[in-house]
């Protein structure tokens, strides 16, 4: 049975994807301009596209917001990176992503889910370890900041919905740590990463709610 489509959510998704395309095009343009400059003479610069799957949950002291069971979501975006020193394969990378987080659980024998959709900026330090010609192992660590752009809480027992980002539910701002490891073969790239939220994303002064998400991504670098 085909479920009724939420047209507001669809429009937000389309607007977000358009913004991502514009930002990725700008990143590519910037990368090309920088490549022409003197900085590129001694430092490797790259930009790329990423597409992946996130397995997210939210750990909360508030049972109403505790989505300890994982929920799958989309992760898509673009990156730009540059070599920090011509004498070492150490890189600084950032970018812009649309990422779908959230969680699900059971409260008073009633199933609930919630979507937390963000625009996210990671800031990572990467080290490229050359394993073979054109093949690199790329461990990385850093952090991220994110701003909520949409999402719904669904109570299946009472058949009710509510906005995820509101004064009674979640804050829009999030931030935390990211670490993982990638592998690079010529222009092809893949990685696994985990994000550990440090920001309290609920409004209570007495309780905390924090995001967590495991990612599997594929992409290309130029």
- Kindly state the average pLDDT of the residues 26-37: 52
Does 110 score more than 60 pLDDT? yes
- Kindly state the average pLDDT of the residues 126-134: 95
CA distance 37 to 94: 20
- Kindly state the average pLDDT of the residues 72-85: 96
pLDDT the model gives residue 4:
42
* Architecture category of domain 7-221 in CATH: Beta Barrel (2.40)
Cβ neighbors of 91 (< 8 A, separation 6 or more) are 44, 81, 82, 83, 84, 125, 126, 127, 128
pLDDT the model gives residue 37:
52
CA distance 178 to 52: 15
Q: Give the pLDDT band (50/70/90) at residue 64.
A: confident
**Which single residue is written with the structure tokens 């479920």?**
3
- Kindly state the average pLDDT of the residues 182-203: 97
CA distance 34 to 204: 45
pLDDT the model gives residue 105:
86
pLDDT the model gives residue 1:
39
Least confident of 32-41, 43-52, 116-125: 32-41
Six-digit token pair at 145? Answer: 């900041």
pTM value?
0.82
CA distance 175 to 21: 23
- Kindly state the average pLDDT of the residues 11-22: 54
Least confident of 15-24, 45-54, 190-199: 15-24
């Amino acid at each position: 049975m085909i479920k009724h489509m939420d047209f507001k959510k669809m429009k937000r998704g389309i607007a977000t994807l358009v913004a991502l395309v514009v930002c990725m095009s700008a990143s590519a343009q910037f990368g090309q301009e920088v490549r022409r400059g003197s900085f590129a003479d001694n430092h490797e610069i790259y930009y790329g596209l990423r597409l992946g799957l996130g397995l997210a949950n939210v750990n909360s002291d508030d049972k109403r917001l505790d989505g300890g069971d994982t929920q799958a979501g989309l992760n898509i975006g673009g990156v730009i990176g540059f070599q920090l020193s011509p004498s070492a394969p150490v890189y600084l990378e950032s970018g812009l992503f649309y990422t779908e987080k959230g969680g699900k659980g059971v409260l008073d024998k009633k199933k609930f889910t919630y979507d937390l959709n963000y625009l996210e900026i990671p800031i990572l330090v990467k080290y490229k370890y050359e394993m073979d010609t054109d093949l690199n192992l790329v461990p990385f660590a850093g952090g991220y900041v994110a701003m909520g752009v949409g999402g719904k809480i669904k109570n299946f027992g009472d058949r009710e919905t509510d906005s995820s980002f509101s004064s009674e539910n979640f804050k829009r701002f999030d931030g935390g740590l990211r670490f993982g490891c990638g592998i690079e073969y010529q222009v092809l790239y893949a990685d696994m990463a985990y994000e550990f939220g440090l920001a309290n994303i609920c409004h209570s002064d007495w309780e905390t709610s924090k995001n967590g998400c495991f990612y599997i991504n594929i992409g290309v670098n130029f």
